[in-house]
Amino acid sequence: MGLVDGPGIRSVVFLQGCKLRCLYCHNPDTWQMGAGEQMEAADLMKKIKRYRPYFEKSGGGVTFSGGEPLLQPEFLLECLKLSKDMGIHTTLDTAGYGFGDYEEILSYTDLVLFDIKHEDPKQYLFVTGQKEDKSKRFLEACQQAGVKMWIRHVVVPGITDGEDHIRSLAAKIKTLSQVEKVELLPYHTLGENKYESMNIKYKLEGVEPMNRERTRELSDLLFAELGEDFTSVGKKDEFVAQRIG
């Protein structure tokens, strides 16, 4: 159960597999498709259905995350359909780097939590190890579907903490008409020990966690660039703006 991956109290389902190799990824254990526990969609949703009273009282539901859930589009779609049959709010937490029938997937999705890795194609490749084409395709599908979106962006010292970058990020977000909320996430090193245990080199070794005061300055800049349609709603250690109205 969680409180940060969408509205209300939520069950969060982590689907295995991710083609991106983000410099700051704190879940390298989700990269491989063959890892994790295999389950049928019906069995999974039976477990989640037990928490429906919590969802109904809090305005919550189920969030499908990863890894990258769009790498398992058929399973994801089946889970989404079952969720809607049960009257459960659905959220998709994604970087948009997958495949499948996005039109159908989004027709059963109430909210998309979209992680913008970088707004510049060259820097996107640097940060993720992949081109941004697939992510752009998913964003276009979201626009066509009119699905509600929350935007997230990780602020990393020396990589995504420049003021010009933040201004460009705001310009990109402003092209997405259905964005309800925007959040900056300061880089942390909590997943570094996973790399050690998996014998994988951590690419940001030696990079300190993002300074909170600097993150606040950047969030103020971002929210100012977004304009009067957004207002800051985050608590002391949160960097969140919400669309007004």
Query: pTM to 2 decimals?
Result: 0.94
The pLDDT tens digits of the residues spanning 50-107 come to 999 999 999 999 999 999 999 999 999 999 999 999 999 999 999 999 999 999 999 9
Overall average pLDDT of the 199-205 stretch = 93
pLDDT over 90 (residue 36): no
Q: Which CATH number, 3.20.20.70, 3.40.50.300, 3.60.40.10, 1.10.10.10, labels domain 10-243?
A: 3.20.20.70
- Look at residue 91 and give its three-state secondary structure: strand
For residues 64-85, b (16+ Cβ closer than 10 Å) or e, as one string?
bbbbbbbbbbebbbbbbbbbee
3 pLDDT higher than 90: no
- Average pLDDT score, the chain: 95
Question: Dihedral sign, CA of 73, 169, 110, 140?
Answer: negative
Residue-range domain boundaries for the chain? 10-243
| Cα 83 to Cα 81: distance, rounded to the nearest angstrom | 5
- CA-to-CA distance for 195 and 203, rounded, in angstroms? 10
DSSP string for residues in 19-52: ----TT-S-GGGS-TT-S----HHHHHHHHHTTH
Residue carrying the six token digits 């276009």 = 140
Helices 212-226, 163-173: crossing angle, 10 deg rounding = 40
> Tokens 């081109």 identify what position?
131
